[in-house]
Chains A and B, each alone.
Chain A
Amino acid sequence: MRKLLAFAVLFVAVLGKETFNGLGNNDLSDVGFPVDIRVPVHQLKMVKRYLKAYDIQFSTMIKDLQVLLDEEQKAMESALAHVPEPRNTDNFDFSSYHNLSEIYSFQDMLVAENPNLVSKIVIGQSYEDRPLNVLKFSTGGTNRPAIWIDTGIHSREWVTQASGLWFAQKIVTDFGRDPKLTAVLNQMDIFLEIVTNPDGYAFTHTNSRMWRKTRKPNPGSLCVGVDPNRNWKAGFGGPGSSGNPCSQTYRGPRAQSESEVNSIVRFVNSHNIKAFISIHSYSQLLMFPYGYTRTPIKDYTELDNLAQKAVTDLASLYGTSYKFGSIINAIYQAGGGSIDWAYNQGIKYSYTFELRDTGRYGFLLPASEIIPTAQETWLALMTIMDHTLKNPY
């Protein structure tokens, strides 16, 4: 409370308006000394007009006092908890790229710090036996309708895993503060798989920064790995993927042959997913099904309109321009992709992003662009989640 008094107010007498809610705890000032006042939002316009009319200079010290109060409240609760909570996610540097063990640690810390909101589900193991971790954000209920988001299915697309980390933090920070997100979490769960291809991600750190696929060897071939985004059971084996194990778009021996893919399939089939969003980089595109065929989806108009709204909202932050459309029109034909599968499972709001940039840096996006990318992408995600919440099916 002491902090509140320090920020708020000093004098009101200068204006003598009874609509003011100052906490006058100081004596009246002299002319020529600054005065702090606290103004309720519904009186803000009127106050500013008054001050301008009388040529009284003013500046805003604090735009929204409530924000500071909330932060302080959180800090106090944390300090008073009898189990000292690791506050390390506050020290986590979202503006740099992290290795796999740092990401796993972050996930555990986030859960430890937010036990009432976040939990970790291990949905399976990668080929090299790494855990496939999904963070569940939930305010309760059983088998609630849910949003699925995955990042990093292609390991070289580093801005996606980095954005996933930022999204996790964003959800935790904004829950209870942002009305839109709070509304979503009050009725729906969010599932976030940050490192969808951990074997590939580890390989991009140790061996080859440009590695895309899984790390499963292919019998009879020198070439390793399957493209996890050609391995789903939707248009599998058709055009838009390769049967050659050495290809970057090798579909694998059969649909869902990769545990990284199969684990998600099993998870989605046993949960109530209403929106499925796969995040890639680069190209600055927001796309919906199909990739395997030119036949438009039944919900083409709705998904097209929603995509248009989402990219407009994304652009509002930094002016980043995204194109949108079905996969096969916007980028290329691709068979066996995740969102085509999800849509055919009945998950209407199935989208895939290609994040920044358009080729100048490509996969090697400067770390300084991680946060701006995540921030703008979040606006588009919120648009999709909000629409999903308001349009139950």
Chain B
Amino acid sequence: MMRLVVVLAVLMGVSGIPDVTISPPTASADTSAHPNSIPETADESEQIKARTEEGAEEDVMATGELNPNHYPARRAAQVVQHYLNTRYGSPFRLIGVQTVHSGNAEDVADSGRKYQLELSVNDIITNTTQTCSAELFFPKGKGQQPPEVKASLEELLKIDIKAQEEALYQKYKTNQTLMSAQYLPDSHGHIEPDMKPFWHLGILASSFIMLNESTENTLYNVAQVANITQLTTEEDHLEFDCHTLLHEVVSQEIIHWKMLFTWSPAEGVKVVQMKRLPHRHEREKSPKTN
């Protein structure tokens, strides 16, 4: 058989974008809609009187089987994410919600509301996924009571991060100058690679706050670690002062928190002190943020 290396130049018609493969949709349509109902007209919408805005979120809480694509399931899943990070998070292990598969919500007498969720979470750093079952309870009543969460991780804990944790701990336990970093990430989304563990630590410490502050009417993310500064300590951990910006999606507010926290491979993150900082408009001058 003749063997020639043949190189082809191919002429096709005017190139177009090849047909996109339709993969199975991940989101399902809302089957509880009523397409035949008559919508309000533009006139009627203008007649809506001003009602209390804060907290007039929903008239009826979603109960029974939850649509995984609607916000009640998403908000509950986010609370699970914060809980898992407080329990299992590390500078080298950060948990994120990937998908909610199914969920259920119900009222519990007069004391609150209970959720059950089946979700997939992933270790953001290694991009490893596992499924997770969670139970949540949002207490009703006066004062901001944090939700109670029951959830566990097994698969993701098998990923060995001990060596990295020890190396980080030793490096900063014995460094000559205390570390300090600002604006993680910066305005352009950039973080220096060796600062990433501190970004993660800021997120972990914030997770305690986000968990505490969460209700069915909130969805928290860390918008930015504005400042993280190492403090001297004689103890067997690293100590940090940290200022983070939380983004609360439902109100769209950016909320500033200051924290004092410690970390060691043995103990994980412990928040010693936390304080919410006043809103920018409550201070005279707007500080620059990058």
A residues sitting closer than 8 Å to B (CB atoms) are 7-9, 14, 31-41, 44, 47, 51, 54-67, 70, 96-97, 158, 177-180, 204-210, 212, 222-224, 227, 233-244, 246-249, 255, 283, 290, 292-293, 295-298, 300-301, 304-305, 308-309, 311-313, 315-316, 321-326, 329-333, 335, 340, 344-345, 358-369, 379
Contacts and interface: CB of A to CB of B under 8 A. Distances in A.
B286 A208 contact: yes
A212 B247 CA distance: 12
A177 B286 CA distance: 49
A51 B45 CA distance: 68
Contact of B11 (A35, A41, A227): A41
B158 interface: no
Given A31-B2, A325-B30, A233 B289 contact: no
Given A207-B286, A246-B279, A323 B69 contact: yes
Contacts of B281: 222-224, 246
B185 A59 contact: no
A51 B239 CA distance: 67
A31 B4 CA distance: 7
Contacts of B289: 207-210
B10 A34 contact: no
Contacts of B30: 304, 325-326, 329
Contacts of B251: 247-249
Given A345-B42, A360-B124, A364-B189, A38 B11 contact: yes
Contact of A38 (B9, B51, B186): B9
Contacts of B56: 239, 333
Best-surrounded residue of A63, A242, A297, A363 (most CB of chain B within 10 A)? A363
Interface residues of B, number: 83
B266 interface: no
A333 B26 CA distance: 23
CB-CB nearest 4 A-B residue pairs: A366-B189, A359-B221, A41-B12, A248-B252
A56 B48 contact: no
A179 to B, nearest CB: 5
Nearest to B67: A329
Given A236-B46, A364-B187, A315 B10 contact: no
Question: Chain A interface mostly helix, strand, loop or mixed?
Answer: loop
B193 interface: no
A59 B7 CA distance: 5
B109 interface: no
Contact of A178 (B12, B17, B254): B17
Interface of B: 1-17, 20-23, 25-27, 29-30, 33-35, 37-42, 45-46, 48-54, 56-58, 67, 69-71, 74, 78, 96-97, 99, 124, 185-190, 221-224, 245, 247, 249-254, 279-282, 286, 288-290
A243 B8 contact: no
Nearest to B288: A207
B7 A64 contact: no
Nearest to B33: A296
Contact of B245 (A63, A210, A292): A210
Contact of A321 (B22, B26, B33): B26
A8 B9 contact: yes
A324 B221 contact: no
Contacts of B190: 366-367
A366 B185 contact: yes
Contacts of A32: 3-4
B8 A60 contact: yes
B249 A57 contact: no
A292 B70 CA distance: 16
A53 B277 CA distance: 73
Given A238-B50, A361-B185, A55 B3 contact: yes
Nearest to B16: A179
Contact of B54 (A34, A158, A242): A242
24 contacts: A31-B4, A35-B4, A37-B7, A41-B11, A56-B2, A62-B10, A63-B10, A64-B11, A65-B11, A97-B188, A178-B17, A209-B187, A227-B252, A240-B53, A248-B254, A290-B39, A325-B69, A329-B70, A332-B71, A333-B57, A344-B45, A360-B221, A364-B223, A364-B224
Contact of A37 (B6, B33, B34, B280): B6
